[in-house]
């Protein structure tokens, strides 16, 4: 796969780049503004050591969205996907999922799996609208401010 590829987004011209260390400052900023328990730099770096098919979306030289995914045997694990708040609901998330499905297929991966907080209704709807089905619940998987909450495991077969 080429290191850098250009594709049209639904609304604009965005650049897609494979996620790498130099994106970290932007990615960490977006992550800390978006997640209750944000990933640390170390966690992001660790994802680069595994078989990563992660990428970022760039607009005007800034990261506006990222998708962190790696491969485990013949499965693609979608670990983290975020769009900056002011650009949500404009199709960029769906655009990224379609890129991910294409990348998964090119790597001969036929299943995409993910975990999402049970309380994250918007993300669950977003995944369902994009073809994911809810498989099971992992009890008390995530930390919250007050305690813990369940993870919903979702799956999509890439065709």
Backbone φ and ψ of 98, nearest 5°: -65, -35
Among 115, 118, 134, 149, the one annotated catalytic = 115
Active site residue 133: no
Q: Which string of x and - marks every residue 39-68 that binds ligand COA (by CB under 6 A)? A: ------------------------------
Which residues contact residue 63 at a Cβ distance below 8 angstroms, ignoring those fewer than 6 apart?
Answer: 23, 26, 27, 30, 56, 57
Active site residue 157: no
**Please, which of residues 67-86 interact with ligand COA by CB under 6 A?**
81-83
CB contact burial 33-52 (16+ within 10 A = b; e otherwise)? eeeeeebeeeebeebeeeeb
What are the residues binding ligand COA (CB under 6 A)? Answer: 34, 81-83, 88-94, 116, 120, 122-123, 125-126, 129
User: Which residues are known to be catalytic?
Assistant: 115, 127
């Amino acid at each position: 796969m080429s290191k850098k590829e250009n594709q049209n987004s639904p609304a604009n011209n965005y650049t897609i780049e494979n996620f790498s260390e130099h994106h970290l400052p932007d990615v960490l900023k977006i992550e800390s503004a978006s997640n209750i328990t944000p990933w640390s730099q170390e966690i992001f770096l660790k994802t680069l050591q595994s078989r990563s098919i992660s990428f970022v979306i760039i607009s005007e030289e800034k990261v506006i969205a990222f998708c962190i995914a790696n491969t485990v045997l013949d499965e693609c694990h979608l670990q983290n996907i975020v769009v900056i708040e002011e650009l949500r609901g404009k199709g960029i998330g769906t655009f990224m999922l379609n890129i991910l499905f294409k990348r998964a297929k090119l790597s001969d991966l036929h299943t995409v799996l993910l975990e999402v907080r049970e309380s994250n209704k918007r993300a669950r709807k977003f995944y369902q609208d994009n073809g994911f089905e809810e498989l099971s619940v992992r009890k008390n998987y995530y930390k919250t401010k007050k305690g813990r909450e369940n993870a919903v495991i979702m799956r999509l077969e890439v065709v």
